[in-house]
Structure 1
Amino acid sequence: MRRKSPVFILVLMLMLLLAACSESSGTGGKNTEAADGEIDIVWYPNESGSDMKSSRDEIGALITDATGQEVKHHLTTDYAIAIETLVNNNAELAFMGAQGYIEANNRNEAIKPLVVPTGSSGTLDDAVYYSWLAVNKDDQEDFKEAGEFSLDKIAEKKMSFVSNSSTSGFKVPSSGIISHFSDENLAETDLMEGGPLFSQVLFGNSHQGSAVNLLNGNADVAAFCDTCVENYVEIVEGEPNRPGSVYRVKDDAAEPFNTVTGKEFILISVTPVLNAPFVGNMDLLGEEGFKKLQDYFSADEVANNEKIFVPEDSGESALFFKTGDERFAPVEDKWFDPIRELSK
């Protein structure tokens, strides 16, 4: 046999080395070229529907204006997928609840909060939304004791949560339920399946899905939040975000509520929750890129953009609405400590 020349062997080794490097870059997260040319933002299932497309597109345009880079939207059907995408360095940005951010930050310290939408005051003082426990209006008497709603009555019922990574669709309501049934020595895991408290436990994988679980009769009680269903429902009795208030699904409601139009539900418990943040992956954005986005999101120009903060009376579906002086504001990690405390 002819002996291979040293040059041939050197070329072969170089080819093998390049192939190995190429394979490595494909499994460890975004490669350098993709990171330089495109910014990926991942969305929870709640914001991945077609009715939220205009809001997603406008947020994408905002990111492009701030960075000069094109934006790719990662739409998901599962909270865990959204969190994994961010943690594994496959996205620079995400819009997620406080609990999802905490889980992501615990697994990847490079995940940091960028901004949160403020309350109507334009500050973080009222930057809250609301976690609801709701039942079908016609079944409300089954959840009352001496004429008042009582959490005692949810025992042995079919319960729907959103996801165990949802702040307002699991973490906050489960904490309240565990506190109420303190004599039962329940843990969070006890609320994830039928047995210790509920006859059956369902997960809707989105706030919309959890609400539909209630309205189509698959669940007796459901946890979901006000902001994630406000585009589909209207209040018909009482005041917004108050126990005893009744909401009705609009006749022209988009999916998945198009199958339960006209159905009514009543709130039996309401709890304020810290607003959801936009978060960034510092390893992919870098400090300069992170700060550039934070400053731009927080600018007056964005606060006054009616395609991002849509006027409340517009009748349009949107991710954020303008009722007063709402805007995006920078926030630090410690702002989310009250949610962390729920796990201790």
Structure 2
Amino acid sequence: MKHKIILLLASAFLFFGCTKEEVQKPITMVFLPNESSEAMKDARQAFMEIISEAVDRPVEIKTTTDYNIALEAIISGNADMAYIGAEGYINAHKRNPAIVPAATNSGPSGTLEDALYYSLIAVRTEDAPQYKNGNDYDLTLLKGKNISFVSTSSTSGFVIPANLLVKKFGLNNTDELIHGSSVFSKVLFAGSHQGSQVNLFRKDADAAAFAIPQTIGVYDLIEGEDYQTGASYKVAEGAVDPFGKFPGSEITVIQSIPVLNAPIVMNTKTLSPDEQHKIQEALTSEKTANNPGIFKIKGSDKQGMYPKYSEKTKLVKTTDSWYDKIRNLTK
């Protein structure tokens, strides 16, 4: 009888020990290359603290150097959460329906109505005049040039600009644009937004598609309106790598295209319904809206990931159907 009691106590200890260990297993959040940079360390730390406090579990941050690595992590279940582009989300949800959007950053209104950023096609400023037809830039003048994209999984670094180019050149789909292209001499995929810009600086590409994070502090605007067609930028002195290797380099936007803001996504198979609710509520709270690690708050020395357009700007709840506008581009 004594031995049976000892065995029962040992079994109970193992059971509760395993349960405790399971509860303390970290939630893993993965970031794309653009948000894996040193410049975004404050934002990653802020997300880790917000999520950990919401669910009372440790949070592990995973950074990446390649779009596909980040997407595979969330699709396979090796990550519980991710910050990925709209096209990346659509692909992830298609392959694993358990991946759903939790929130995205709003515009000045504090709603989804103006939750936008910009996909840019840019050239070196010294070459910009050759892409003008009269007073306007003409994308068809890119014919025969070398172009750099980010990744076929990148919304603003490929899907949006490539579909626009397909229409401009009268092609049937983006495959015609990149495989045996009759449009470009060479099509490059840099793997990151930074890399696509570097291809432009190095003159490996004549034009490049990418998005500039709106709080990163890499460029000084020297002409035009921020993120709009005609804007010219100069790489700032002391910019973070890899931009710091090209101080003074100038680029000009020859096409700006509005894009739906990227979602923070959750894997509903690896997070409980209660955890999903708590995370979503924490992300969209006023406390997070005023967190200088998440939003660029005036007077703070923290970088922040998102621009704080107004007092109403915050993270807002979003849904799968909101991204149908992007989904319909590739149908």
Identify whether the pair has TM-score above 0.5, normalized to the shorter chain. Answer: yes
Aligned residue number for residue 203 of structure 1? 189
1:179 & 1:70 partners in 2: Cα distance?
47
What are the residue-to-residue correspondences of 1:115-264 with 2, within 5 Å?
Answer: 115-182=103-170, 185-193=171-179, 195-227=181-213, 230-264=216-250
Aligned residue number for residue 342 of structure 1? 329
Residue 295 (structure 1) aligned with residue 275 (structure 2): no
1:264 & 1:292 partners in 2: Cα distance?
45
Could you give the per-residue CA deviations for residues 148-193 of structure 1, whole angstroms, max 9, x where no partner exists?
Answer: 21011111110000110000000000110111112xx342122334
1:93 & 1:80 partners in 2: Cα distance?
15
In the TM superposition, residue 52 of structure 1 has moved relative to its aligned partner by: 1.0
2:215 & 2:165 partners in 1: Cα distance?
22
One of 262, 267, 284 as aligned partner of 2:270: 284
Contact 1:312 1:323 in 2 (8 A): no
In the TM superposition, residue 147 of structure 1 has moved relative to its aligned partner by: 3.6
In the TM superposition, residue 244 of structure 1 has moved relative to its aligned partner by: 1.2
2:214 & 2:262 partners in 1: Cα distance?
11
Residue identity in the other structure for 1:327: K
Residue 311 (structure 1) aligned with residue 272 (structure 2): no
Higher mean C-alpha deviation, range 254-263 or range 186-195: 186-195
Contact 2:33 2:66 in 1 (8 A): yes
Contact 1:194 1:201 in 2 (8 A): no
Aligned residue number for residue 71 of structure 1? 59
What are the residue-to-residue correspondences of 1:6-21 with 2, within 5 Å?
Answer: none
**What residue ranges of structure 2 are gaps of 5+ in the alignment?**
1-19
2:105 & 2:149 partners in 1: Cα distance?
24
Could you give the per-residue CA deviations for residues 297-339 of structure 1, whole angstroms, max 9, x where no partner exists?
Answer: 1111111222321225657533123231211111111000000
**What residue ranges of structure 1 are gaps of 5+ in the alignment?**
1-31
Question: TM-score of the superposition, structure 2-length normalised?
Answer: 0.90
Could you give the per-residue CA deviations for residues 228-276 of structure 1, whole angstroms, max 9, x where no partner exists?
Answer: 6842112111111221111111011011101111111111000100001
1:278 & 1:211 partners in 2: Cα distance?
25
2:290 & 2:198 partners in 1: Cα distance?
34
Contact 1:160 1:202 in 2 (8 A): yes
Q: What is the total number of aligned residue pairs between the two structures?
A: 312
2:303 & 2:122 partners in 1: Cα distance?
22
Aligned residue number for residue 89 of structure 1? 77
Residue identity in the other structure for 1:211: Q
Q: Which secondary structure state, in structure 2, belongs to the residue aligned with residue 223 of structure 1? A: strand
Q: Which secondary structure state, in structure 2, belongs to the residue aligned with residue 227 of structure 1? A: coil
In the TM superposition, residue 80 of structure 1 has moved relative to its aligned partner by: 0.8
One of 314, 318, 329 as aligned partner of 1:331: 318
2:22 & 2:216 partners in 1: Cα distance?
36
Q: Percent identity?
A: 38
One of 301, 304, 308 as aligned partner of 1:322: 308
Contact 2:73 2:79 in 1 (8 A): yes
RMSD, aligned CA: 1.8
Question: Is the alpha carbon distance of 1:229 and 1:223 closer, same or farther for their aligned partners in structure 2, counting shifts above 3 Å?
Answer: farther
Residue 103 (structure 1) aligned with residue 103 (structure 2): no
Q: Which secondary structure state, in structure 2, belongs to the residue aligned with residue 90 of structure 1? A: coil
2:223 & 2:67 partners in 1: Cα distance?
32
Contact 2:293 2:303 in 1 (8 A): no
In the TM superposition, residue 33 of structure 1 has moved relative to its aligned partner by: 5.2
Question: Is the alpha carbon distance of 1:244 and 1:83 closer, same or farther for their aligned partners in structure 2, counting shifts above 3 Å?
Answer: same
In the TM superposition, residue 195 of structure 1 has moved relative to its aligned partner by: 2.9
What are the residue-to-residue correspondences of 1:30-69 with 2, within 5 Å?
Answer: 36-69=24-57
Q: Which secondary structure state, in structure 2, belongs to the residue aligned with residue 270 of structure 1? A: strand
